[in-house]
């Protein structure tokens, strides 16, 4: 039998859309107490969670969002770190701004959110779940910096898990195979202009 999440205190980053929004829906339906973060995109639904605006690439914003969740709940049991952004681009096409944007959205945000969550969990334990990607393992000629950023998320997760486990804080990464807006953008970039990918014989 799967352990119950009822009354677990959960923070979900990147919760306005996609995987994060789905996590909020499922967890709240299962009885968890959920705070979701959003930045520029308003939540698709505000049902089932409290909400806080947060720029996950800014350390102060992250620290304040986690502190708000901890204040509301009296602590934090779980971080679901779903914030991230898929961007296309092939090797040879990137400038410094492109690289920094993708790294900040996917890797820097992971470090900031994980560290802030750990600071509130280290006395009582907790679970941190990061979202990696199969592209972080295999690489991708069509999204090279995204793949590199997700590979960094995988390495960071292993490093944090080895250190923080002694405090009862587990850190894991998952690479879900689901339809997301990033997957839609990948398909759009691979589809020749003028072709309808839904019509194939």
Copy the structure tokens of residue 52: 């806080």
Can 146 be counted among the known catalytic residues? Answer: yes
Question: Distance between CA atoms of 10 and 31, rounded to whole angstroms?
Answer: 11
Instruction: Provide the edge-to-edge strand list for the sheet that holds 50-53.
Output: 50-53, 33-38, 9-13, 78-81, 126-131, 169-174
121 in helix, strand or coil? helix
Q: In sequence order, which ranges of the chain are alpha helices (DSSP H)?
A: 18-29, 59-73, 96-103, 109-121, 135-138, 144-164, 181-190
Which residues lie across from 13 on neighbouring strands? Answer: 81
CA–CA distance from 82 to each of 11, 19, 134 (Å)? 10, 7, 15
Which residue among 146, 149, 150, 169 is the active-site one? 146
What's phi and psi for 49, nearest 5 deg? -155, 160
Catalytic residues: 146
């Amino acid at each position: 039998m799967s352990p119950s999440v009822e009354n677990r205190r959960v923070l979900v980053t990147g919760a306005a859309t996609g995987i994060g929004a789905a996590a909020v829906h499922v967890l709240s339906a299962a009885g968890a107490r959920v705070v979701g973060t959003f930045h520029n995109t308003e939540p698709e639904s505000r049902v089932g969670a409290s909400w806080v605006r947060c720029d996950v690439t800014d350390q102060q914003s992250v620290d304040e969002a986690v502190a708000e969740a901890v204040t509301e709940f009296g602590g934090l049991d779980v971080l679901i770190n779903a914030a991230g952004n898929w961007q296309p681009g092939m090797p040879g096409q990137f400038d410094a701004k492109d690289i920094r944007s993708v790294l900040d959205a996917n890797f820097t945000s992971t470090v900031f959110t994980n560290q802030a969550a750990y600071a509130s969990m280290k006395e009582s334990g907790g679970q941190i779940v990061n979202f990696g990607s199969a592209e972080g393992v295999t690489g991708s000629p069509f999204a090279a910096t995204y793949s590199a950023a997700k590979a960094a998320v995988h390495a960071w997760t292993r490093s944090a898990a080895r250190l923080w486990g002694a405090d009862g804080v587990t850190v894991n990464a998952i690479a879900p195979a689901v339809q997301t807006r990033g997957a839609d953008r990948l398909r759009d970039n691979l589809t020749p202009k003028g072709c309808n990918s839904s019509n194939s014989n």
